[in-house]
Structures are given as C-alpha cells and as structure tokens.
Structure 1
Amino acid sequence: MDAGTKILIATLLGAIGMGYIVYGRKQFKGSALVAGIVLCVYPYFVPNLLLLIVAGLAVMAAPFFIHD
C-alpha cells in the first residue's frame, strides 16, 4: 500500500466530510452532519486502502437513504 495514496484519499474524504458538516448545520440535517463527522474521523483508524474507499463511499451515500 502506498502511503501517499492513502494520505490523498484521506484528505479528499476529509474535505468532503467538511462539506457534509457545513450542509448539515445550515440545513438542520442530522444525518449529513453525522456523516461529515464520520468522514473526517474514520480515515485515521482504517489501515486498509480498499476498506477506506468502500466505507467512505458507503458513508457518503448514507444521508441520501436516511431521512431526518
């Protein structure tokens, strides 16, 4: 596993997570807010690159299926 690739993907997921946090706070959407927090935090704890990508996609899709 290339460390640079993992850092790049973790940074991208964190930036998307910040977008979810801003959207969740402004629109009072709890699911988007929680998804944003998870996207910002979980890359620190996932060592596998494939799992990082798959879990990130799942968390990004979750607010579209969970309605507040």
Structure 2
Amino acid sequence: MNQTSLLLSVLFGSIGAGYALYGKRQDHIVCLVCGLLLGAVSFLLDGPWTTVAAGLALMAVPFFVRL
C-alpha cells in the first residue's frame, strides 16, 4: 500500500463514516449503504483512479436516489 492509497482510504473512509452516521440517524438506507461501501471501496479496488472514480460515484448516489 503506497501513500496515495493510504490517503484515499482515509479520505473516503471518513466521508463514508459521515454518510453512515447520517443514514443511521435519519433512517435513510441509501446513505447508510453508500457510507458502508465508501469505507470498503479502498480495500476492494486496486489503483488510485478506480478508487477515486468509485468513491465519487458512491458520494453522488444519495443525491440522485431518493427512497
């Protein structure tokens, strides 16, 4: 794991924690799932560009999907 991967995992993990806390408190399942996936995206994907693309896509999902 290099410095870029570590920085991206900390960044998306902290954003994911915020999404997950918001989703749990507000009973918003989309935010909760996206938050959990943001926490795991850096461990599941290889390469910084795919991690950034998946992270940005997961961050945008709650704004477009309203359940």
TM band (smaller chain): over 0.9
Matches within 5 A, 1:30-49: 30-49=29-48
One-letter identity of the residue aligned with 2:15: I
Q: CA deviation at 1:5?
A: 1.1
User: What is the number of equivalent residue pairs in this alignment?
Assistant: 67
Runs of 4+ in structure 1 displaced over 6 angstroms?
A: none
Report the counterpart of residue 66 of structure 1 in structure 2. 65
Q: CA deviation at 1:9?
A: 0.8
Q: Is the 8 A contact 2:41 2:54 kept in 1?
A: no
Structure 2: gaps spanning 5 or more residues? none
One-letter identity of the residue aligned with 2:26: Q
Residue deviations 1:5-63 (CA, integer Å, cap 9, x gap)? 11001111000000000000111100000000000112101111101001100000001
Structure 1: gaps spanning 5 or more residues? none
Identity of aligned residues (%): 36
Q: TM-score, normalised by structure 1?
A: 0.93
